[in-house]
Homo-oligomer: A and B are copies of this chain.
Amino acid sequence: MDGTPGGLSGISAPGRVAAPDEGVTEQELALAARNHGLPLEALRYDVTPPGLHYVLTHYDIPATDADGWRLTVGGRVRRTLDLDLDALRARPATTRRVTLECAGNGRARLTPRPVSQPWLVEAVGTAEWTGVPLAALLAEAGIADDAVEAVFTGADHGVERGVEQDYRRSLPLSTAADPARDVLVAYEMNGAPLPPQHGSPLRLVVPGWYGMAHVKWLRDITLTATPYTGFQQSVAYRLRQSAEDVGEPVTLIAPRALMVPPGFPDFMSRTRVVRPGPVPLAGRAWSGHGPVTRVEVSENDGATWTEAELVPDPAHPWAWTAWRTTWTATPGLRRLTVRATDAAGNAQPLVAEETWNRGGFASNLVQRVEVLCTTEATAA
């Protein structure tokens, strides 16, 4: 009875963009209250402490049980695998430090605003993931000659834009089966079993790709002879200019730099307060397209830029790069801007329009931080 008042379409509307001057809706707010970003001061940690890493859950966090969990690997393989957690833990393990960002990061700063999870800039985090290399599992199963993609199914179930579904995404085998891509079937995050909200007991980790590819609560991997065209591949996560546009798929993370906001904040406006003089600035930058090669800071909206010092960590090529510089603050209300450039030559845009698309994906507009430099102090 889809399409009738009692049907799913009545509670699950198509994607839309907000009307001009339409404030954030209660539906967007309910998503913002459930999901959360990285509080930006937590950029100070090389590895994001538990609970501070961003979380985006499409449906509910499922009630999973590690004891009875099975991962099946089937479809276009020579032999089907059916593995429990012990079987996965018995195989050679790999640990990778990976920076993970939601594809919708930046969405709420677009005009018009795509109506979905309303991220500003904070949907990111870095963790140490431990698990079995996907390439090894696929080699063990044996990839059939006609296989082209691996389709990953999670245990999370819901409705989206009128379609009831398990969360499901695919990767081309050129990524999934390439040991150099370091795709993992992970069972530990920062040395502990996965927390419920990060996919307990198993999730996919796809270094360099936006979060939608890192299927949580992973229960099945199926190789296919044709590209997967399900909802999360063909309807969601496309870069469209209009509802009719087929669009390009969202894949690798676009470059972004974020700054630990300097000084201390006002509770409500989050404007920062610093005293005049040298102010250390630091943060992180990352890109799925290659190493970050430049981070620049501007105190005058891009009229001039100061290049920050990068602190690369060759041991962790999939993790963000630390950067630092010093800013000499002078009294007044300032606006700091930071931007990253990667080895492939991608840089962050200064205007949101350059990243607009109907789903609000991969929008890497520069971060701007309002800072009041003042000699004033009022004791409480």
Q: Which A residues are closer than 8 A to B by beta carbons?
A: 1-2, 5-8, 10-13, 22-37, 39-42, 44, 49-53, 55, 57-61, 63, 108, 115-116, 118-120, 122, 157-166, 168, 195-198, 230-231, 261, 264-271, 273, 331-333, 370, 372, 374-380
| CB-based contact A39/B12 at 8 Å | no
Q: Give the complex CA separation of A220 and B280 in angstroms.
A: 28
| CB-based contact A60/B265 at 8 Å | yes
| CB-based contact B6/A380 at 8 Å | no
Q: Which residues of B contact A2 (CB under 8 A)?
A: 376, 378
| CB-based contact A231/B27 at 8 Å | no
| CB-based contact A41/B24 at 8 Å | no
| CB-based contact B33/A34 at 8 Å | no
Q: Which residues of B contact A270 (CB under 8 A)?
A: 27, 30-31
24 chain-A/chain-B pairs, Cβ below 8 angstroms: A1-B376, A5-B333, A6-B372, A11-B269, A11-B273, A11-B333, A13-B268, A29-B32, A30-B120, A31-B268, A32-B33, A34-B37, A39-B57, A51-B198, A52-B195, A59-B264, A60-B261, A60-B264, A116-B268, A159-B273, A160-B266, A162-B378, A164-B273, A168-B380
Known pairs A22-B23, A50-B51. 5 more at Cβ < 8 A? Answer: A1-B374, A12-B268, A13-B268, A44-B63, A60-B264
A94 to chain B, nearest CB (A): 24
In-complex Cβ contact of A50 among B31, B195, B264, B377 (8 A):
B195
CB-nearest residue of chain B relative to A109?
B26
| CB-based contact B379/A164 at 8 Å | yes
Q: Give the complex CA separation of A264 and B61 in angstroms.
A: 10
Q: Given A2-B376, A59-B265 in contact, is the A8-B120 Cβ separation under 8 Å?
A: no
Q: Give the complex CA separation of A269 and B116 in angstroms.
A: 10
Q: Give the complex CA separation of A331 and B120 in angstroms.
A: 39
Q: Which residues of B contact A267 (CB under 8 A)?
A: 12, 58-59, 158-161
Q: Given A59-B265, A61-B41 in contact, is the A29-B33 Cβ separation under 8 Å?
A: no
A211 to chain B, nearest CB (A): 15
Q: Which residues of B contact A24 (CB under 8 A)?
A: 23-26, 28-29
CB-nearest residue of chain B relative to A3?
B376
In-complex Cβ contact of A34 among B5, B36, B166, B378 (8 A):
B36
| CB-based contact B119/A33 at 8 Å | yes
Which of A32, A63, A269, A273: most chain B CB closer than 10 A?
A32
